[in-house]
Amino acid sequence: MSEEKQGALAGFKEFLMRGNVVELAVAVVIGAAFTKIVNSVVEGVINPVVGAVGPKDLEEYQFCLKAPCAENAAGEMEGITIQWGSVLSASLTFLITAAVVYFCMIRPMNKYKARLDARKPVDDTPAAKTELELLAEIRDALVTQRTEMETSNGAAVGAQRGPSSEPR
């Protein structure tokens, strides 16, 4: 798999997990617009492929939890069934909608924003110093000041004593 595809899939996963309000609003609007297209893809392409191994409609896939799982004369279902086919159909519809929104709207918009940001002039002003950096500067200035005072005091004391009377 190429690096571009990995980046696209990672970006798609980040889009799904991030939960950005604006992107989700766009997803809802565009998702509503693509609902018919997505439903057509699921019903016209995915269901026939699934139908090659079982019932043509995903909605018919179910699991009987408590027997008897059959329709009575009134057309009502007796027993308890888990309709996992409808969950699978809804999940596929969601994934297709999310992919269309991401690849057709969000990813191109992010690339466009990146190009706009690249065109902006670079701010050369240095970043504001952090509290830790300021405290380090104050400490260094105090150490320097203390060293200078000790050096000048030592020289002043030596000047007061005069030349050393110790033999060389």
Q: In sequence order, which residues have a C-beta less than 8 Å from that of residue 47 and are 6 or more positions away?
A: 56, 57, 58
Asked whether residue 86 falls in the same domain as residue 141, the answer is no
**Residue-level pLDDT at 143:** 94
Is pLDDT above 80 for 126?
A: no
Q: Indicate whether this model's pTM tops 0.75.
A: no
pLDDT band at 135 (very low <50, low <70, confident <90, very high): very high
Report the CATH number that the domain containing residue 104 is assigned in CATH: 1.10.1200
Same domain, 155 and 133: yes
Let me know whether 109 and 133 are in one domain.
no
Give the residue from 125, 141, 145 showing the smallest Cα distance to 133. Answer: 141
> 52 and 14, same structural domain?
yes
C-alpha 84/C-alpha 61 separation (Å) is: 6
Per-residue pLDDT, 141: 94
pLDDT (tens digit, 9 = 90+) per residue, 29-54?
Answer: 877 777 777 778 777 887 778 778 77
One domain, residues 107 and 147: no
Q: Is residue 99 a contact partner of residue 12, using CB atoms and an 8 Å limit?
A: yes
Q: Judge if 151 and 71 occupy the same domain.
A: no
Question: Could you tell me if 60 and 140 lie in one domain?
Answer: no
Please count the structural domains in the chain. Answer: 2
> Is 110 part of any domain?
yes
Q: Is residue 77 part of a domain?
A: yes
Is residue 164, in this structure, part of any structural domain at all? no
Q: What pLDDT, in 10s, does the model give residues 74-119? A: 777 777 888 888 888 788 878 877 887 788 888 998 998 899 888 8
- Domain assignment present for 86: yes
pLDDT digits (tens, 9 = 90+) for 154-168: 665 555 555 555 554
102 in any annotated domain: yes
Is the domain of 103 the same as that of 143? no
Q: Are residues 77 and 31 in the same domain?
A: yes
Return the residue matching tokens 């190009």. Answer: 115
Which domain does 148 fall in, by range? 129-159
36 lies in some domain? yes
3-state secondary structure string across 21-81 = HHHHHHHHHHHHHHHHHHHHHHHHHHHHHHHCCCCCCHHHCCEEEEEEEEECCCCCEEEEE
- Same domain assignment for residues 43 and 86: yes
In a domain, 113, yes or no: yes
Residues 79 and 102 placed together within one structural domain of the fold: yes
30 and 99 together in one domain:
yes
Residue 166, in any domain of the structure: no
> Cβ distance 85 to 59 under 8 Å?
yes
